[in-house]
Amino acid sequence: MSDENVKDIPEEATKTSSGEEAEPSQEEKKTSPEVEAKASSGEEAQESREEKDTSSGKEAKTPSEEETMASPEEKAESSQEEEKTPSEEEEGEPLILFENVGKIYKTGQIVYEALHDVNLKIMEGELVVILGPSGAGKSTLLNLLGGLDGATSGKIFFGGEEITAFDDARLGRFRSNDVGIIFQFYNLVPTLTAYENVDLMQDLGVEIMDPLEALRMVGLEDRKDNFPSQMSGGQQQRVSIARAIAKKPRLLLCDEPTGALDTNTGREVLKLLQDQSRVRGQTVVMVTHNSLFAEIADKVVMVKNGTVVEVKINKEPKDADEINW
């Protein structure tokens, strides 16, 4: 064949004659039916494994991947819920229940919101410590607990009764019979003896135990004839405690009971209050700035910016005489 004829041959024909396109067809011819079957079954097995992996992956996603994908905020919320579990698992009806309680004070055109959205449960016989900075609403909360002040909104229950619905007469009986109050600065009558200060409750029409027995419980039987000016600060506070427990109240409220006392005397007062809860089954609620007192409490209530921000359950409270400050 001449060179001119070769030049006229189409390019496709040249490739065909050189055998370049024949190679794929030869490889296809070399593939036996058995190889094709193996390849087919291999592909099916691979698809089956992929489907199985996908299926198992979906099943595993619920417990593992969702936990891994949870944001730090969600994990923190989950942790907080776990910390609240002991409070939620408390058995029986609470002695005290606050439901979305708020308190607003008005002076002329000035409106001050002391408390808002307070929710709280206190069980009978608990020793509860309320902590928080000055102005957080601790004292207002204590006043509402004792019926010394009324809530602006929400409901407060005591022993299953709604005290926010009490009229003045019923509220007065509640304060007289069910609530004992211990103040920071004792509030004793200076012209009365220790015995007479305790017995004063009876003169006001409140049924109480023998005043001498109450003084004996706080270790001041031998001081029954002393006036407040003849007693130390710790002794005066113990008279104040004797006066509060003489009527055997279900609820004992303490407003900074050791605030004016030295460490040793304060520890004695704390021991007395702890015994009222542990030994006599009274519910004791104490407001304080001293965070160390949380160590003796069954429950610690944190108050900030006018509301309860945290409630902790202390499973192993210390004895009062173990506290040092």
DSSP characters over 115-179: EEEEEEEE-TT-EEEEE--TTSSHHHHHHHHTTSS--SEEEEEETTEEGGG--HHHHHHHHHHHE
- In angstroms, the CA 214 to CA 243 distance is 7
Q: What is the mean pLDDT of residues 229-253?
A: 94
Dihedral sign (CA 223, 224, 225, 226)? positive
Q: What is the mean pLDDT of residues 246-265?
A: 90
Query: Token pair of 286, please?
Result: 């104490």
- Does residue 75 sit in helix, strand or coil? helix
The number of folded domains in the chain is 1
Give the model's pLDDT for residue 23: 46
Pinpoint the alpha helices (H) of 218-262: 233-245
User: What range defines the domain where residue 229 resides?
Assistant: 123-150+159-322
Q: What is the mean pLDDT of residues 42-47?
A: 48
The neighbour count for residue 225, using CB atoms within 10 Å, is 10
Contact 115, 102 (CB under 8 A): yes
Contact 186, 239 (CB under 8 A): yes
Give the model's pLDDT for residue 184: 83
Q: What is the mean pLDDT of residues 144-167?
A: 96
Does the structure show a pLDDT above 80 at 125? yes
- In angstroms, the CA 274 to CA 277 distance is 5
- Does residue 91 sit in helix, strand or coil? coil
Identify whether 233 is part of a domain: yes
Identify whether 107 is part of a domain: no
Cα–Cα distance list, 174 to 145, 169, 179, 285 (Å): 11, 9, 7, 17
- In angstroms, the CA 267 to CA 262 distance is 9
Query: Token pair of 106, please?
Result: 């008005």
Does the structure show a pLDDT above 60 at 21? no
Q: Binning pLDDT at 50, 70 and 90, where does residue 90 land? A: low
Identify whether 136 is part of a domain: yes
CATH number, domain containing residue 211: 3.40.50.300
Identify whether 6 is part of a domain: no
pTM over the 0.75 mark: no
Share of residues in the chain with pLDDT > 90 (%): 59
Which of 135, 166, 127 is closest to 148 using CA atoms?
166
Contact 239, 220 (CB under 8 A): yes
Identify whether 38 is part of a domain: no
Identify whether 248 is part of a domain: yes
For residue 105, the cross-strand partners are 112
Identify whether 318 is part of a domain: yes
Identify whether 20 is part of a domain: no
- The continuous run of DSSP H or E covering 310 comes out as strand 307-313
